[in-house]
């Protein structure tokens, strides 16, 4: 913080990215500001405030749900489209963020810009096959959420590109989903484990299954054995999940609790 010399308020994305890429300013993006001040590298000299950018809206486009990166947890929690999508799981997840004060300020873009074990949206977006729109040198790029934290991306959100939108594919609209934050208290940021379950039925069988796990490592991951067993109609899918979690060294408590929660979800389908 002590090295900050400039504060910029661009009003369009093009100017914002131009400033970010101008080496003279050594800029970093600031959205809600709930995390950036704690993690600011000494090398940063300019705060690039995103609050005047037109990246806050939540809308439908081509059947997909598009959430502006500047939308806050509270706006997502209260938004009608988010509340009706996939049984309202996106809003339900937003409502689990620790306190109303943080929900009022923190944005979805800031939540996913860096991998962090306890952040809520990464596990949900991985499970919903979301895409992320980036604005960087050379224009915009739509990437899979799962690619956002891969070294192959070659971009650092907030330092040399901006996240402008999160795109949730149309096919997920009717998925039956559940988000669970298993934590000491509702107002804890830290959690033992976060879980996102999704399923789609064709007749009596499942045509799609997603089991996504957070809080065990900075990047969320999918549980392939559990998903495969669910699709096969295997009654022991929760046992398969326990083996996914053992492979991730979840420990006995998390493994037992999470596999029981998956069994409950499957029973509810
Ligand atoms: C007391 C407290 C409790 C918290 N509880 C929770 C919780 O329960 N659940 C949870 O998930 N998180 C929690 N958080 C973490 C934090 O608030 C979130 O991660 C939040 O979403 C960050 O968003 P922000 O808009 O405040 O980002 P900022 O702090 O402004 O920025 C965070 C990072 O993202 C980058 N960034 C921001 N927007 C963009 C963009 N559009 N494009 C590219 N880069 C961008 C910034 O450069 C910075 O590196 C908590 C934090 C605090 C301090």
| pLDDT in the model for residue 37 | 79
Ligand 1, atom 52, residue with closest C-alpha:
34
Check for a shared fold between 58-171 and 173-267.
no
| pLDDT in the model for residue 124 | 98
Ligand 1, atom 44, residue with closest C-alpha:
158
Lowest-pLDDT range, 32-41, 72-81, 175-184, 231-240?
Answer: 32-41
CATH of region 58-171: 3.30.465.10
Q: How far apart are the first and last CA of the chain?
A: 50
pLDDT greater than 80 at residue 1? no
Strand residue runs (E) in the chain: 6-8, 27-30, 46-49, 58-61, 64-68, 131-136, 139-144, 161-168, 176-182, 193-202, 205-214, 221-222
- Distance (angstroms) between ligand 1 centre and the Cα of 110 equals 4
To the nearest whole number, what is the mean pLDDT of the chain? 96
Question: Is the whole model's pTM more than 0.85, yes or no?
Answer: yes
Domain 173-267, second-level architecture: 2-Layer Sandwich (3.30)
Ligand 1: which of 16, 75, 113 to mutate, most ligand atoms within 8 Å of CB? 113
**Rounded distance between C-alpha atoms, residue 27 and residue 249, angstroms:** 38
Where along the chain do its domains lie?
Answer: 6-49, 58-171, 173-267
> Residue 40: pLDDT band by 50, 70, 90 thresholds?
confident
User: Taking the C-alpha atoms of 118, 121, 127 and 132 in order, what is their torsion angle to the nearest 10 degrees?
Assistant: -130
- Distance (angstroms) between ligand 1 centre and the Cα of 98 equals 12
Phi, psi of 99 (to 5 degrees): -135, 160
pLDDT greater than 80 at residue 18? yes
User: Taking the C-alpha atoms of 49, 28, 145 and 167 in order, what is their torsion angle to the nearest 10 degrees?
Assistant: 20
**Rounded distance between C-alpha atoms, residue 144 and residue 250, angstroms:** 26
């Amino acid at each position: 913080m002590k090295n900050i010399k400039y504060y910029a308020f661009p009003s369009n994305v093009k100017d914002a990215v131009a400033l970010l890429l101008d080496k003279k300013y050594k800029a970093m993006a600031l959205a809600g500001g709930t995390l950036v001040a704690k993690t600011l590298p000494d090398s940063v000299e300019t705060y690039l405030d995103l609050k005047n950018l037109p990246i806050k809206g939540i809308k439908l486009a081509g059947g997909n749900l598009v959430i502006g990166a500047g939308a806050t947890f509270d706006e997502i929690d209260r938004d009608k489209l988010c509340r009706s999508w996939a049984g309202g799981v996106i809003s339900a997840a937003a409502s689990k963020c620790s306190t109303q004060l943080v929900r009022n300020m923190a944005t979805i873009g800031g939540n996913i810009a860096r991998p962090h074990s306890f952040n809520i949206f990464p596990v949900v977006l991985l499970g919903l096959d979301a895409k992320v729109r980036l604005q960087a040198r050379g224009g915009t790029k739509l990437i899979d959420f799962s690619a956002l934290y891969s070294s192959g991306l070659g971009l650092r959100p907030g330092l040399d590109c901006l996240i402008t939108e999160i795109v949730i594919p149309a096919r997920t609209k009717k998925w039956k989903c559940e988000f669970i934050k298993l934590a000491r208290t509702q107002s804890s940021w830290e959690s033992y484990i976060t879980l996102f379950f999704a399923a789609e039925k064709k007749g009596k069988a499942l045509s799609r299954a997603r089991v996504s796990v957070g809080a065990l490592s900075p990047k969320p991951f999918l549980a392939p054995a559990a998903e495969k067993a669910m699709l096969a109609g295997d009654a022991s899918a929760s046992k398969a999940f326990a083996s996914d979690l053992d492979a991730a060294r979840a420990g006995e408590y998390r493994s037992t609790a999470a596999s029981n929660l998956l069994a409950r979800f499957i029973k509810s389908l």
